């Protein structure tokens, strides 16, 4: 990887790569979520630092915050309570990436910042029947119901859960501009 970085001589890098999935995927493959995300993050962040990348923006996830934080969530609530058990392996990996950026910034002055977006959706999303996030899963259910033979305007779709859970969603295009600004201007916070 260092040769590839040296060949391309990046000055700014946005790390958005991750193994992601919904609740069922997280519950079914906890070791994969932890191992693969730790490998991606540590290799890319360390190689960026060693290769002279001037600025790195690490995209984490809002799932790193405790399960029941006060709203609106404040950065200071990180690591103050239990994580949501359905995605704690992914969250632990993302917390590690955030802390690695902070450690390299503090010890070596590496300009690494972290951004924790909420649930993202958009083109190229994962619409897998059991391993997708909630919004693509809902879109798939509605699409399949609308296309099913004999279905019409009175078609219903049943969703799991109590209906009390609150979610925030952000279209990936609405993340691009702030991420580019942070990547180009830099940020000294986490």
Spot the catalytic one: 29, 65, 90, 108.
Answer: 90
Clarify whether 108 is annotated catalytic: no
Separation CA 48–CA 57 (nearest Å): 11
Separation CA 116–CA 134 (nearest Å): 18
Check whether domain 2-120+170-185 has CATH 3.30.70.141, yes or no: no
HEC string of 11-40 equals CEEEECCCCCCCHHHHHHCHHHHHHHHHHH
pTM of the model: 0.82
Separation CA 108–CA 111 (nearest Å): 9
Residue pLDDT, tens place only, 79-122: 999 999 988 999 999 999 999 999 999 999 999 999 988 888 88
Query: Could you tell me where the beta strands, DSSP code E, fall in the chain?
Result: 12-15, 55-59, 111-115, 119-121, 169-171
- In the chain, where the domains are located: 2-120+170-185
Considering all CA atoms of the chain, what is the largest pairwise distance in Å, rounded to the nearest integer?
A: 64
3 state DSSP class of 120: strand
Query: Could you tell me where the beta strands, DSSP code E, fall in 45-109?
Result: 55-59
Residue pLDDT, tens place only, 18-39: 999 888 899 999 999 999 999 9
């Amino acid at each position: 990887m260092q040769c590839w970085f040296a060949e391309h001589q990046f000055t700014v890098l946005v790390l958005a790569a991750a193994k992601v999935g919904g609740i069922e995927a997280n519950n079914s493959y906890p070791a994969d979520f932890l191992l693969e995300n730790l490998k991606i993050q540590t290799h890319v962040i360390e190689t960026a630092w060693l290769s002279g990348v001037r600025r790195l923006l690490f995209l984490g996830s809002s799932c790193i915050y405790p399960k029941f934080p006060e709203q609106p969530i404040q950065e200071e609530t990180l690591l103050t309570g239990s994580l949501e058990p359905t995605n704690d392996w992914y969250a632990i990996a993302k917390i590690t990436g955030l802390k690695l950026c902070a450690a390299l910034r503090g010890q070596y002055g590496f300009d690494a910042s972290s951004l924790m977006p909420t649930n993202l959706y958009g083109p190229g999303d994962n619409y897998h029947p059991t391993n997708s996030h909630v919004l693509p899963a809902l879109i798939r259910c509605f699409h399949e119901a609308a296309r099913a033979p004999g279905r019409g305007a009175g078609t219903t779709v049943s969703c799991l859960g109590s209906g009390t859970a609150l979610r925030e969603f952000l279209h990936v295009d609405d993340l691009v501009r702030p991420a580019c600004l942070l990547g180009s201007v830099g940020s000294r916070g986490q």
